[in-house]
Structure 1
Amino acid sequence: MLSHENLLAASKGNILRLERAKLKGFVTIRHCSILPLAHIFERFILLGVFLRGTQVVFCPVPEKLV
């Protein structure tokens, strides 16, 4: 079972891993969210996005992205 502490620790660990990898083009100022907020992966991603201070944009109709 995932707790809030588990999600926070995993998100912080993921941010540290990505910073150490020094990926070019990784840092963005905006995240476009298309998964439902009830989806656990979307919650995990959003937690990392919020911890980095990135702006979140929600797409109401994902079909328009294609």
Structure 2
Amino acid sequence: MANEITPKLVADITDKSFGIQLIVTGLAHLVEEEGYTPHEALSIARYTGNNCFHALAELKKEAKK
């Protein structure tokens, strides 16, 4: 699959992607500053991702125009 996220892909983009740095920083903040467990922080991230999927898809569609 062309869009498969592999460990190598993650390693290649993690240091270069400001967006991923923001995600990791946000997860760390949830754990360190807001008192969530790592499991809870990841659940929050999944829930947030699921709830904003359609808005992100629309942004991608608009960017292609």
Q: TM-score range by the shorter chain?
A: 0.3 to 0.5
Q: TM-score, normalised by structure 2?
A: 0.37
The structure having more radius of gyration, on CA atoms, is 2
Larger fraction in strand: 1
Select the structure with the greater relative contact order (CA < 8 A; seq sep ≥ 6).
1
Larger fraction in helix: 2
Q: TM-score, normalised by structure 1?
A: 0.36
